[in-house]
Amino acid sequence: MISKARIKEIHSLEMRKSRRQKRLFVAEGTKLVGDLLNTMRPSYVAALPQWIDMHRNLLADTPVDEITPAELERASLLRAPQEVIALFPIPDYLLDPESLKGKLTLALDGVQDPGNLGTIVRIADWFGIEGILCSMDTADIYNPKAIQATMGAIARVRLHYVDLPDMLSQTSLPIYGTFLDGENLYDKQLSPEGIIVMGNEGKGITKEVGEKVSERLFIPSYPAQRETSESLNVAIATSIVCAEFRRRQQ
């Protein structure tokens, strides 16, 4: 059975202010919670009996409430609840600029939509990118919608919220960014290490961050002369760019 106070706590974590105060975030569903259990210890779990029976070995010393489907529906933040709700502590990751050498890193400049952010984390995970630098005005990855959109990738990809122009000024790595006046992505020489900057959904990369970009890229439409959409969704653009970087390394 789950208490009213616990349900209230879960729902309060929809708000960024509450997440910051309590240093907790909500994860729901067998896949997402299962992936997180491999790397993090939850501070609380509410789940259906069958889920608890299958995961008892991973829940040592964790407060657990066995709940009914009706209780799960009341506590869940989802339209279609999925067996388990867990609260996890928000991790504190240290960032050493030197650690970025020898690998690809994503940087997000003002990405606002939690769904886009979560999808980008999932894309990073697919292409073996373990770190993402986020400007301070990028959406909160611990927003429940963003967490769900990661589909468990948040267990393997670390996000760092930083003063992005300052962080980029501290590295000697090539810094790539997507622009309408950039060079064709498929003709450009690409390094196996560096930072790939993706901009805001509507405004693109800010002037301050753009000044730090050393390699300007453009994703061409096909055919080049055909009238087409004005731009690509930022998550789709991220997947195209990451795929091309990794293709060169095959």
**Predicted confidence (pLDDT) per residue in 204-227, tens digit:** 999 999 999 999 999 998 877 777
Residue pLDDT, tens place only, 22-42: 999 999 999 999 999 988 999
Name residue, tokens 């963003």.
146
> What pLDDT is recorded for position 223?
74
Name residue, tokens 């106070």.
5
Amino acid type, 56: R
Exposure string (b/e) for 14-49, b if CB count within 10 Å is 16 or more?
A: eeeeebeeeebbbbbbeebbbbbbeebebebbbbbe
How much is the average pLDDT of 162-170?
96
- Residue 57, CB-side half-sphere exposure with 13 Å CA sphere: 2
How much is the average pLDDT of 3-24?
97
Residue-range domain boundaries for the chain:
4-89, 97-248
CATH architecture designation of domain 97-248: 3-Layer(aba) Sandwich (3.40)
> What pLDDT is recorded for position 126?
97
More confidently predicted of 60 and 134: 134
> What pLDDT is recorded for position 213?
97
Residue pLDDT, tens place only, 233-250: 999 999 999 999 999 887
Name residue, tokens 């560096």.
194
More confidently predicted of 97 and 150: 150
The answer to whether the predicted template modeling score (pTM) of the entire model surpasses 0.85 is yes
More confidently predicted of 7 and 60: 7
Domain 4-89's class?
alpha beta
Q: What is the mean pLDDT of the chain?
A: 94
